[in-house]
Chains A and B, each alone.
Chain A
Amino acid sequence: NAGVTQTPKFQVLKTGQSMTLQCAQDMNHNSMYWYRQDPGMGLRLIYYSASEGTTDKGEVPNGYNVSRLNKREFSLRLESAAPSQTSVYFCASNRQVPYEQYFGPGTRLTVT
């Protein structure tokens, strides 16, 4: 099992550019999440998907969109990148019983 994979690992964008961060899990989990991590602010939930076909906003959804393409894949799109979106982005999935959450390796995004 690869667990949770994310692409790309690093990305530099100019303000206004768009991009999609990809995430996939091979553990047959229903729930998937996107977080961003900024220094001094911990992790903040952007969007989550409790199951295939459903998505819900988290704490900081503005400027982002998501797609739960199928049970395996959950992508995060930045339509018009802004410097405030410079961050490390983590995708995660979890199993319910027993509960355990698995994080991907992260995408380090810089917007100039």
Chain B
Amino acid sequence: GQQVMQIPQYQHVQEGEDFTTYCNSSTTLSNIQWYKQRPGGHPVFLIQLVKSGEVKKQKRLTFQFGEAKKNSSLHITATQTTDVGTYFCAGRKDFSGGYQKVTFGIGTKLQVIP
């Protein structure tokens, strides 16, 4: 079945350092989404990537979708304490008839040390 592996599971960085989390799917995806979840909170949608090789930026966050649409990354430049939380990727595969399969990665928990 479809699996989405996400690494690392935990990351501690000094404030100002960069951070990257990676997702790899066992199958080709229709699209991939990224979410952030603060401790005790709910996932908040960050972005969706659809096209092969797509790169999108949101301020200090850069999202990439691999050429084969099987891997993706989220890179944060110069982390701040407000970046603390767990970052999830979610790979979506669409099938005929409207059926879709969404598989979340396990998440990367980011701690930023002031």
Q: What's the dominant secondary structure at chain A's contact region?
A: strand
Query: Are A48's CB and B88's CB within 8 A?
Result: no
Query: Are B45's CB and A41's CB within 8 A?
Result: no
Tell whether B43 is near chain A: CB-to-CB under 8 Å: yes
Q: What's the dominant secondary structure at chain B's contact region?
A: strand
Tell whether B107 is near chain A: CB-to-CB under 8 Å: yes
Question: Contact size class for B?
Answer: 20 to 34
Tell whether B113 is near chain A: CB-to-CB under 8 Å: no
Tell whether B61 is near chain A: CB-to-CB under 8 Å: no
Query: Are A103's CB and B44's CB within 8 A?
Result: yes
Return A108 CB to nearest CB of chain B, in Å: 10
Cβ contacts B2-41/A at 8 Å (1 or 0 each) = 0000100000000000000000000000010101000001
Cβ contacts A72-112/B at 8 Å (1 or 0 each) = 00000000000000000010100000111111111000000
Known contacts A42-B6, A50-B100; 16 additional CB pairs below 8 A are: A40-B106, A42-B104, A43-B43, A43-B104, A45-B102, A50-B98, A54-B98, A56-B98, A56-B99, A58-B102, A59-B101, A101-B33, A101-B45, A103-B45, A105-B42, A106-B42
Q: CB within 8 Å of B: which residues of A?
A: 33, 35, 40-45, 48, 50, 54, 56, 58-59, 90, 92, 98-106
